[in-house]
Amino acid sequence: MTLPSHAQIVVIGGGIIGCSTAYHLAKDHKADVVLLEMGQLTSGSTWHAAGLVGQLRSSASITRVLKYSVDLYKRLSEETGLETGWKMTGCLRLATNQDRWTEFRRLATTAGSFGMEMHLLSPREVKEMVPLMRVDDLIGASWLPTDGQASPSDITQSLAKGARMHGAKLIENIRVTGFEMQGDRIVKVKTDQGDIACEKVVNCAGQWARQVGEMAGINVPLQPVKHQYIITEKIDGLASDAPTIRDPDRRTYFKEEVGGLVMGGYEPNPQSWVTGDVPHDWQFRLFDDDFDHFEQHMLQAIERIPALETAGVKQMINGPESFTPDGNFILGVAPECSNMFVGAGFNAFGIASGGGAGWVLAQWAIDGEAPLDLWTVDIRRFSDLHRDRDWVRDRTLEAYGKHYTIGFPHEEYVSGRPAIVSPLYDRLKKHRAVFGSKLGWERPNWFAPEGTPAEDVYSMGRQNWFEAVGEEHRHIREHVGIFDQSSFAKFELTGTDAVKALDYICANDVTKPAGRLTYTQLLNGRGGIECDLTVARLSDDKFYIVTGTGFRTHDFAWIREHISPGLDVELTDITESYGTLSLMGPKARDVLRQVTNADVGNSAFPFGHVREIEIAGSVVRALRVTYVGELGWELHIPIEATGAVFDALMLAGKEFGIRPVGYRALESLRLEKGYRAWGSDITPNDSPFEAGLGFAVKLRLGARFIGRPASEAIRAAPLKKRLATFTVADKSVVLLGRETILRDGEPVGYLTSGGYGYTVGNPIGLGYVRNAVGVSDPFLAEGNYELVVANERYSAKVHLQPVYDPRNERVKT
């Protein structure tokens, strides 16, 4: 095929993700698409994938993406005439211990919340489905009847044919050698056969995606890992429609193939491949068989299916798969380059994800915005830390090793730590802090009382920190505490057009005079919440923006990319320049008065204001704001002075009972107050009006801002979902999020976050109630509610207002 000189969109990579993206761009959007493949289609890792297709994930949006894949694979052959090998065999997941069984019961609830069919089976029922399997050690199994398996190469070839049918050009045996850039945009793709001018690039290069990205200055943090499985000879008694099987407690999986079994697993001691660049000539190639390393899986598999001991092995597959540091794949527009989109790092879920990932990635590339909440897989969840290939390798190998381990709530990664610490790290360790990690930052989750081990002990029920966190929670409600929140992301926007730029980007009014704070969302074109942050106006042409630790890359890129062209503004990330201490509790003002000469009385320093005050000889940006529902300040301190200010506050606060407090108490405090968390309670799928944040949208001002037309339409119509607070009387219930909400016995939504309210003395959660004809106050208030938790129903109470209101010292239960 002749190389075209120009294309609207160039897709790099001819595996299942690249072919799916090209197919959807051509079919759904009639785009002028050219796909470039270095070797032949499927020749990277697609051709040797095992082909298991599961659908259920903890994210509703990602589950929707995977369900779309299944729907596509079912119908694709009718369009293209090429079979996909799709078989809806269903999938069994086996449980051999009580913690795993609890996990499955919770997953069954999640499946119900997302509208998926999932059943819990007895060992006898499992034996009836797969007579060859030993079940005497089972507690039970989960059964997802709509899961299945497919042929990776066949799906890809069918997608490729469909793409060509709709006008896409697919060129094999051509290698991308670089890009011609103008600023942060790609204007030409350079190849070993010539250049192609283009408007956008989609990097679906699989294990080569990292080095393709680097040609444009983009970081794609993935690590190739060796993954092995075997294909056996025919096994007598194995049905052709046998379900796929995942045996996570034995770290193995099985599927039927031509009368035999495909069997592989995820070992705790995985083997990485290159940390550097993947060789260009690695096509249709495998590593040498490594039976010594695979023996651990073989022994476990024989225990489960004894017939394997005498079955002949037809072939061993030992090939590289791209994995990521958190086990989630990578989609979206790169923060470093405004017109390169990435689809890579699928953690052996590439076949299950391929159809849906191509669908949303194509839409993303056309619109410039994700079509739904894809935060868990968004490339902007990473940071500069993920440019360290050794760190990425170590964390990715840990994530691979956890592939089949029990997903305990609140579990932390241990590799690559500590990576980033605040100046208070050693001080807080002396206070017996138990740290967690967020985007590389070490943050105190809780503080262990004397005589208690300063470590997390994971459990599917109440964990070992429950009482200690309760004491921290009560301390904030009654006295005063300090949170080290130095990991907050912090930006400055300066310039003569700073207010004009932010007024367009922010949904709330940021044109207030200097000295004022604004809590605001940044909306997408659908009126959904892309960012949730605080904007402090320091002067006429200088703003200070504070957002969550994990959203640093995402929020900075969103703001930068939506500054209107030609404006005199500069956006700077100053996260490491300032430490942050949150001084919270009814005695916070008493402590602050001891360390500063500034007037911090309510009339001089009201809520929603920012002042520069002096503490311990340093000028501190003090923001009167709270995320816990008590009197408090965020103190943003020059990083080198953070320790001195902490020491001064601790000394001055001694008479008021001051103590350091961790993030787990922060979570329970904010739930009682009904404060939303971005990424769970509020997402790009949710509007401020649905989330109860309509007060923060400046529709009444007539100002032009991103998302205004959609917001006007949402406000004008009955709201089909609304966020509410729920409490459960049974104090033993553990709420985590994704629990189904029942109204008058019918499912109407699910919790977006959950925990325990120590002040109200009940499990507590936030969640959206849905109703196609509208959710009014009477509709919310008049229903009888239950929550489904680990497949059991518990009576619940709905609250239209926060359950804790310190203004009138009243607790609503």
pTM above 0.75, yes or no: yes
What is the tally of helices (H) and strands (E) in the chain? 18, 40
Is residue 430 assigned to a domain?
no
Domain residues for 136? Answer: 91-149+224-323
Provide the Cα torsion 721, 726, 732, 738; round to 10°.
20
For residue 595, give the nearest of 662, 644, 659 by alpha carbon. 644
Which CATH number does the domain housing residue 132 bear?
A: 3.30.9.10
Q: Please check whether residues 557 and 500 belong to one and the same domain.
A: yes
Q: Please check whether residues 96 and 77 belong to one and the same domain.
A: no
Q: Please check whether residues 568 and 631 belong to one and the same domain.
A: no
Residue 150 pLDDT? 86
Is residue 11 assigned to a domain?
yes
Residue 512 pLDDT? 97
Q: Is the preceding omega at residue 418 within 30 degrees of 0, hence cis?
A: yes
553, burial (CB in 10 Å: exposed 0-12, middle 13-18, buried 19+): buried
- Residue burial 657-675, b: 16+ Cβ < 10 Å; e: rest: ebbbbbbbbbbbbbbbbbb
Is residue 608 assigned to a domain?
yes
Which CATH number does the domain housing residue 644 bear?
A: 3.30.1360.120
Tally of structural domains, the chain: 4
The angle that helices 152-165 and 16-29 make with each other, rounded to 10 degrees, is 30
Is residue 736 assigned to a domain?
no
Long-range contacts of 403-406 (CB under 8 A, 24+ apart): 403/251, 403/266, 403/327, 403/347, 403/348, 404/246, 404/248, 404/249, 404/251, 404/265, 404/266, 405/248, 406/99, 406/100, 406/103, 406/248, 406/460
Domain's final residue, options 273, 288, 323: 323
Is residue 130 assigned to a domain?
yes
Which spans in 12-59 are helix H?
A: 16-29
316, burial (CB in 10 Å: exposed 0-12, middle 13-18, buried 19+): middle
Q: Please check whether residues 563 and 498 belong to one and the same domain.
A: yes
Q: Please check whether residues 209 and 231 belong to one and the same domain.
A: no
Is residue 64 assigned to a domain?
yes
Residue 56 pLDDT? 85
Q: To which residue do tokens 């094999």 refer?
A: 172
124-176: pLDDT as tens digits = 999 999 999 999 999 999 999 999 888 889 999 999 999 999 999 999 999 99
For residue 608, give the nearest of 520, 548, 727, 524 by alpha carbon. 520
Residue 807 pLDDT? 61
Q: Please check whether residues 183 and 160 belong to one and the same domain.
A: yes
Domain's final residue, options 639, 657, 675: 657
**Average pLDDT along the chain, 813 residues, taken 10 residues at a time:** 90 97 98 97 86 84 92 93 90 97 95 91 97 97 92 93 97 97 96 97 97 97 96 94 95 94 96 92 91 96 96 94 96 96 93 94 97 97 97 97 96 97 98 98 98 96 97 98 98 98 98 98 98 98 98 98 97 98 98 98 97 98 96 98 98 98 98 97 98 97 95 97 98 97 97 98 98 96 96 97 70 33
Which CATH number does the domain housing residue 53 bear?
A: 3.50.50.60
For residue 354, give the nearest of 70, 638, 33, 35 by alpha carbon. 70
Q: Please check whether residues 274 and 158 belong to one and the same domain.
A: no
Q: Distance between CA atoms of 307 and 290, rounded to whole angstroms?
A: 22
Domain's final residue, options 274, 299, 323: 323
Reading the block at residue 377, the tokens are: 């897989």
- Cα 165 to Cα 3, 168, 201: the distances in Å are 18, 7, 21
Is residue 787 assigned to a domain?
no
Residue 422 pLDDT? 97
Q: Please check whether residues 139 and 246 belong to one and the same domain.
A: yes
Q: Please check whether residues 644 and 630 belong to one and the same domain.
A: yes
Q: Please check whether residues 63 and 204 belong to one and the same domain.
A: yes
Enter the DSSP assignment of 591.
H
What 3-state DSSP class applies to 289? coil
Provide the Cα torsion 805, 806, 810, 811; round to 10°.
60
Is residue 808 assigned to a domain?
no
Q: Please check whether residues 343 and 197 belong to one and the same domain.
A: yes
Q: Please check whether residues 357 and 502 belong to one and the same domain.
A: no
Which CATH number does the domain housing residue 548 bear?
A: 3.30.70.1400
